[in-house]
């Protein structure tokens, strides 16, 4: 079990949101303990539901923005439009209430949905298109932190085979395309791998933000940026 750290003598209270994929969610955490969460995976646009979800969760948990120490958001990679909505919301709240905010990689948040374990490496995999994935791998540090082994990547499925071939630790695949990656790499794994088919979720965004803040601090609303990894064509122009 991970340690509970103190912030200014008390457990840090975190508001975290995720709009980076098909689902969207908002959570309130006390340290690493989830006090409440609203998760929706429906056909409505993120802009149609995330504000109501946030308002309802604050009411149900009797939480005010003044009670929050840190605002966290999944900043990608993932849906271009979804990431922009989440970033805009957290930036606005952070500016109005003059509180720190922090962006968390969707790949890192997936790692925190798995149990921390020594001699195990997490392969976070998110579908980008039919031939490519967003990818990173993580190692446990003292059984308490997942440390990224490199920068988030945008790779082809075929490249994953070579990465798996050179791996010397037990592999756990996690993400919305984890099963396909598992099937692709299982023949090349030196140890018996596992997989967990999961979507990015705000409670794990919050847990990752908690640890990240303790190591590197937060961001200002102005410095908070998206982690798109690849270029998107929007109304005839490319954004990335």
Same domain, 96 and 122: no
Domain-embedded: residue 84: yes
Domain-embedded: residue 7: no
Same domain, 133 and 204: no
- What value does the mean pLDDT of the chain take? 90
14 compared with 3, residue with greater pLDDT: 14
Average pLDDT over residues 212-217: 89
Domain-embedded: residue 166: yes
pLDDT number for residue 237: 33
Average pLDDT over residues 123-150: 94
Same domain, 19 and 89: yes
Domain-embedded: residue 8: no
pLDDT number for residue 3: 52
Same domain, 182 and 129: yes
pLDDT number for residue 198: 95
pLDDT number for residue 30: 94
Query: Which residue, chain included where needed, has tokens 């790692």?
Result: 111
Domain-embedded: residue 3: no
Query: Which residue, chain included where needed, has tokens 């303790």?
Result: 214
Average pLDDT over residues 203-223: 92
Q: What's this model's pTM, rounded to 2 decimal places? A: 0.91
pLDDT number for residue 143: 83
Domain-embedded: residue 1: no
Domain-embedded: residue 151: yes
Pair 201, 25: CB distance under 8 Å? yes
Same domain, 98 and 22: yes
Average pLDDT over residues 101-115: 97
Parent domain of 24:
13-106+200-239
Same domain, 84 and 156: no
pLDDT band at 89 (very low <50, low <70, confident <90, very high): very high
- Which residue in 27, 12, 20, 6 sits closest to 203, CA to CA? 27
Does 28 have pLDDT greater than 50?
A: yes
* 91 three-state secondary structure: helix
Angle at 115 between CA 113 and CA 118, to 5 degrees: 135
Same domain, 17 and 77: yes
pLDDT band at 72 (very low <50, low <70, confident <90, very high): very high
pLDDT number for residue 231: 56
Does 1 have pLDDT greater than 50?
A: no
Does 232 have pLDDT greater than 80?
A: no
Same domain, 26 and 102: yes
CB atoms within 10 A of CB 16: 32
The CATH number covering residue 150 comes to 3.30.420.40
Integer Cα distance of 103 and 206 in angstroms: 10
What domain count does the chain have? 2
Same domain, 102 and 204: yes
Domain-embedded: residue 2: no
pLDDT band at 50 (very low <50, low <70, confident <90, very high): very high
Same domain, 102 and 209: yes
Same domain, 193 and 152: yes
Same domain, 21 and 100: yes
């Amino acid at each position: 079990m991970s340690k509970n750290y103190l912030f200014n003598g008390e457990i840090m209270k975190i508001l975290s949101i995720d709009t980076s994929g098909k689902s969207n969610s908002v959570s309130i955490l006390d340290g690493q303990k989830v006090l409440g969460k609203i998760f929706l995976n429906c056909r409505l646009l993120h802009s149609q539901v995330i504000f109501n979800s946030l308002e309802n969760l604050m009411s149900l948990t009797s939480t005010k923005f003044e009670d929050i120490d840190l605002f966290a958001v999944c900043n990608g990679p993932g849906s271009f439009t979804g990431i922009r909505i989440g970033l805009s919301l957290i930036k606005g709240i952070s500016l109005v209430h003059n509180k720190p905010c922090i962006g968390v990689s969707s790949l890192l948040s997936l790692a925190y949905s798995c149990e921390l374990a020594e001699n195990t490496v997490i392969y976070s995999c998110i579908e980008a298109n039919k031939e490519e994935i967003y990818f990173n791998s993580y190692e446990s540090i003292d059984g308490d932190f997942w440390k990224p082994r490199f920068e988030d990547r945008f790779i082809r499925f075929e490249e994953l085979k070579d990465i798996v071939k050179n791996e010397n630790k037990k592999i756990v695949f996690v993400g919305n395309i984890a099963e396909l990656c598992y099937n692709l790499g299982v023949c090349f794994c030196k140890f018996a791998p596992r997989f967990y088919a999961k979507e990015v979720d705000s409670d794990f965004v919050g847990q990752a933000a908690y640890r990240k803040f303790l190591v590197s601090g937060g961001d200002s609303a102005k410095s908070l940026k998206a982690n798109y990894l690849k270029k998107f064509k929007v109304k005839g122009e490319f954004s990335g």
